Structures are given as structure tokens and as C-alpha cells.
């Protein structure tokens, strides 16, 4: 960012009522233990015209956010605690970091073409700093209110991935927003905090499945936009009797195919050929549980779906990959979930670790995707209207993509990270450009 921002205030927000003594130790679930060590970053942008209808004094707006955050933290008390080891959050009301900053730029400059280096500065802490969070003063959650020259604002929030996935983040933000609108915490349904650790008890393990992946290679991230109409065309292109891909399946498959082609095209003479590829996709298992869990359930209630290897030599068909994607996601079923809840959890962890080893071999190109499509980030209304733009920050891991809904709910925004050489090829992929557009 060319201009330097000023810090107006920096506070620690504690719950409006102290957490009872019997709740001071919050158990993480086995699924939380498997989650990455980094944070889940969210950015919500609100237009100046909407903000002005609420308050001309942004100091008052900032205070309202702090007050309502303090109130909602009484329900989400682990969010103001500290991670003490691999299975416990100490809920001693140490609080949530809240920064209010002022930037001498227009909000429209960011919205026209979001740049990663700018978006990073709108967050209260580096989301992918993998230093142990036990010594991190920003704690489980941190907030930054960014005030732009035009009067618009951006709210940057980071949650520890050890207690929150994207679904949890969306639920928390909407609960906070409802409190800000004056609904009061008494009118909110308390989140089922302990449910996940009861269903998936913590295990005596120490594993980080993303260890060594962040920053391993020099990468570049680009944003691709898929309109609702282009996704419909893409689905029609892939569909056949008995198979109609979902929006997420269609977009993910096209990104996988195009990225694999870019990888093959960018090989220098003498480099080992790519003979196979595999894909992983995160799967929200709330609706796959029996009985299903509430969308407001707190924790990392998702799992990696891992494909078998696909031959990469020659032309790889889009429909073939889409069917493989459907098959892969379908693996995370009731039987898979039962293994996670039983002593067979070891088998699941070993399978994931083995998949990591396989795709690390030469000649095999692995890709990972996660979808936040459908999560209600565009519903977060603190009293001055819904966001004009909601996004996240791409994970700096090679061959990784994040999908999010666009504001109209029909399109998809994809943040994709590849090596510089492969991204340069991808930007000229004719099939991809038939359905998507890159930021300029």
C-alpha cells in the first residue's frame, strides 16, 4: 500500500460478563487438532453511503462494534481465551485485540481490483504466520476496523483455525452483527460449543497436515471471477445423462484441469514429465452427520476428500475430472465419519499423510481446494447494511484454491495460487477464459 495507515486506537475487548469458573477449560475436538495452525481471515467492506446513514462519527461506530463484541463474547467465550496446548483453550477472558485504523485512500480503489498486499494490511495480524500461537498476544481472535478516506469501512477479522472453520466464522460474525443491531444476546440461540468435542473427542496425537506447505515455493495468487451465467454454461458443457455437476464441482474441475495443463506446458526440456494428478477438497460434514448438526455448530467440522490418481499424459477430459471430483467428495460419507469417531481415526490420518507423500513425488501434481460458497458473509449487517464486498486472503500454498460466493449469490470468486511460471501459462488458457475472467 503506497500510503501509510494510522492507528487511531488499539484495545482489548473482554466479555461483558466474566466466564464462569467451570467453563475455564474448553476442550478442542479431534477435528480441531487436525486443523491447520494458521488463521481464518475474513474481510467485509461497507460503502460510505451505507455507513453515513448510521453514523457520521466513526468513533461512535467503532465503540458500538466494541460494545456488541463484548456482549457476544459471553456466548462465544473461547474466542477471547488463549490456546495452551494441542487440546485445550484456557478461557480466562484475556480478550480480543481490536484495532481501529485510518487509511488515506478511497475504498473504491480496493474494490475495483483487490490486491493481496493491500488486503493483508487490512487484517489485524498475519493469518499465515505459523509461529506457535501459544506465544501470540493477538490470541484466538483479532479484529481491525479500517476507515477509508471516503467514509467507507472494511472490517478485517482473523480467527484461529484451531477453533473456527469458515462456517463458524460466518455464524459468529452474524451473531455479532445481530447483537450490534440491538437484538441482544438473550434473543440469540447459544452456539453448541461443546458438541464437537463430545462427538469427536480429542486424541493423544500431534499432527499438522499443512506443515511445511506454506511458503515452500515461490508462488503467485490471482483472483478469477465466474459469473452466474458462465457457470451455467460450464455446467451444461460438463453435464451428461445421469450426471449434472454442482456449481462448485464445475468451477473446481475447470480450475484443476486448467492448472494441470499449465503445469505440463511450463515444463522445461529435461524436466520430468507429469504422469498423474490428484485433487483434495474440503467437505463440510455438518449436514452429513446423523443426525445432522446445526450450521451454527462451532469448530472444524469438515474433512479432506482425497482423490485417487488420475493419468495426466495426453488430453484429460473435463467431464472425466468432474466425475472424479464427485466421486472424491462422496467418499466423506457416514462410514468415513464413523471412523473419525472411533479408534479407526488412525487409519484416516494415515491415509491423508500417505496422500501428502504421494503428491510430493516427482511426476505427480496435486491440487487442493476449499469452498466457502453458501456461507453467509454477505448477510453480516451491523446496522448500516450488508457488505458491498466480502472476501478472504488466499493461502500461500502452491496449487491451492479458495472459492467464495459473489454478492449476487449466483457467481463464484476464486483465489488460486500457483507457481509464477504456471500462472503465466494459466492466464492464456482458452478454455478457462471462456468461462472466467482474471483481475487485470
Q: Burial, 21: exposed, middle or buried (Cβ in 10 Å; 0-12, 13-18, 19+)?
A: exposed
Distance CA 98, CA 147 (A): 13
d(CA 143, CA 124): 6
Q: How far apart are CA 214 and CA 377, in angstroms?
A: 26
Please check whether residue 5 is in contact with residue 101, taking contact to mean a CB–CB distance below 8 angstroms. Answer: yes
Strands 39-46, 153-160: parallel, antiparallel or unpaired by DSSP? Answer: antiparallel
User: Would residue 22 show up in a list of annotated catalytic residues for this protein?
Assistant: no
Cell numbers given for 148: 477509508
| From 161, 165, 281, 296, active-site residue | 161
Q: How far apart are CA 73 and CA 71, in angstroms?
A: 5
Q: Is 138 helix (H, G, I), strand (E, B) or coil?
A: coil
Question: Looking at 11, 208, 320, 381, which residue is catalytic?
Answer: 381
| 428 burial via Cβ count (<10 Å: 0-12, 13-18, 19+) | exposed
d(CA 256, CA 236): 18
381 is catalytic: yes
| Catalytic residue set | 161, 381
Amino acid at each position: 500500500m503506497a500510503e501509510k495507515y494510522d492507528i487511531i486506537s488499539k484495545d482489548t475487548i473482554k466479555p461483558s460478563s466474566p466466564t464462569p469458573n467451570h467453563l475455564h477449560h474448553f476442550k478442542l475436538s479431534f477435528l480441531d487438532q487436525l486443523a491447520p495452525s494458521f488463521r481464518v481471515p475474513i474481510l467485509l467492506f461497507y460503502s460510505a453511503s451505507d455507513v453515513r446513514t448510521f453514523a457520521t462519527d466513526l468513533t461512535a461506530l467503532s465503540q458500538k462494534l466494541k460494545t456488541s463484541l463484548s456482549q457476544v463474547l459471553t456466548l462465544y467465550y473461547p474466542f477471547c481465551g488463549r490456546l495452551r496446548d494441542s487440546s485445550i483453550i484456557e478461557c480466562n477472558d484475556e480478550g480480543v485485540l481490536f484495532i481501529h485504523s485510518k487509511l488515506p485512500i478511497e475504498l473504491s480503489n480496493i474494490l475495483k481490483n483487490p490486491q493481496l498486499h493491500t488486503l493483508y494490511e487490512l487484517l489485524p495480524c498475519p493469518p499465515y504466520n505459523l509461529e506457535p500461537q501459544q506465544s501470540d498476544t493477538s490470541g484466538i481472535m483479532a479484529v481491525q476496523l479500517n476507515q477509508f478516506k471516503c467514509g467507507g469501512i472494511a472490517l478485517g477479522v482473523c480467527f484461529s483455525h484451531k477453533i473456527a472453520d469458515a462456517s463458524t466464522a460466518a455464524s459468529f460474525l452474524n451473531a455479532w452483527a445481530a447483537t450490534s443491531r440491538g437484538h441482544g444476546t438473550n434473543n440469540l440461540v447459544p452456539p453448541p460449543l461443546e458438541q464437537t468435542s463430545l462427538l469427536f473427542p480429542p486424541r493423544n496425537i500431534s499432527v499438522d497436515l499443512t506443515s511445511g506447505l506454506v511458503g515452500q515455493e515461490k508462488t503467485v495468487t490471482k483472483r478469477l471471477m465466474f459469473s452466474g451465467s458462465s457457470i451455467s454454461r460450464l455446467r451444461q458443457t460438463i453435464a451428461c445423462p445421469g450426471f449434472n455437476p454442482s456449481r462448485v464441482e464445475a468451477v473446481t474441475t475447470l480450475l484443476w484441469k486448467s492448472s494441470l495443463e499449465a503445469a505440463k506446458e511450463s515444463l522445461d526440456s529435461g524436466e520430468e514429465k507429469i504422469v498423474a494428478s490428484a485433487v483434495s477438497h474440503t467437505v463440510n460434514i455438518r449436514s452429513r452427520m446423523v443426525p445432522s448438526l446445526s450450521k451454527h455448530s462451532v469448530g472444524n467440522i469438515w474433512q479432506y476428500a482425497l482423490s485417487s490418481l488420475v493419468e495426466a499424459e495426453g488430453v484429460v477430459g473435463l467431464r472425466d475430472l468432474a466425475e472424479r471430483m464427485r466421486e472424491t467428495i462422496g467418499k466423506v460419507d457416514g462410514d468415513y465419519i464413523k471412523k473419525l469417531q472411533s479408534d479407526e481415526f488412525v487409519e484416516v490420518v494415515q491415509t491423508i499423510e500417505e496422500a501428502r507423500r504421494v503428491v510430493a513425488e516427482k511426476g505427480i501434481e496435486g491440487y487442493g481446494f476449499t469452498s466457502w460458497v453458501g456461507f453467509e458473509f454477505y448477510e453480516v449487517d451491523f446496522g448500516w447494511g450488508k457488505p458491498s464486498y466480502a472476501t478472504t486472503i488466499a493461502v500461500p500454498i502452491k496449487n491451492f484454491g479458495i472459492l467464495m460466493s459473489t454478492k449476487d449469490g449466483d457467481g463464484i470468486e476464486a483465489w488460486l495460487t500457483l507457481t509464477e511460471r504456471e500462472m503465466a501459462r494459466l492466464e492464456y488458457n482458452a478454455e478457462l477464459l471462456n468461462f472466467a475472467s482474471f483481475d487485470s
